[in-house]
């Protein structure tokens, strides 16, 4: 009785485990050298830094505008 229950649970949870179906199919694994791995990491970090720098520029612009508003408000009171 217990074996039947565990089999039913296994089939209802995963179906065919280990085999990708439809859109979930994985790309074939490509072996890379350690140099390629490090270069890929460097590129990812560069992209991340560039994105953060752009976000920082936008935040500085917003701060500058708010500081100007504060000056106007302080001068009127």
pLDDT, position 13: 54
Per-domain residue ranges of the chain: 32-77
Nearest one of 52, 71, 31 to 63, comparing CA atoms: 71
Instruction: Give yes or no for residue 11 having a pLDDT over 80.
Output: no
Q: How do residues 55-71 score in pLDDT, each as one tens digit?
A: 999 999 999 999 999 99
Average pLDDT, the chain: 83
C-alpha torsion angle, residues 18, 19, 22, 28 (rounded to 10): 90
Whole-number Å distance between alpha carbons of 69 and 73:
6
**pLDDT class for 27, splitting at 50, 70, 90?**
confident
pTM of structure: 0.55
**3-state class percentages of the chain: helix first, strand second, coil last, to nearest 5:** 75, 0, 25
Contact, 10 vs 18, CB < 8 A?
Answer: no
């Amino acid at each position: 009785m217990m074996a039947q229950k565990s089999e039913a649970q296994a089939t209802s949870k995963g179906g065919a485990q280990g085999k990708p179906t439809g859109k979930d199919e994985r790309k074939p694994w490509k072996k890379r050298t350690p140099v390629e791995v490090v270069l890929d990491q460097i590129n990812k970090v560069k992209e991340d830094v560039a994105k953060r720098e752009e976000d920082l520029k936008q935040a500085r612009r917003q701060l500058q505008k708010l500081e100007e508003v504060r000056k106007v408000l302080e001068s009127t009171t």
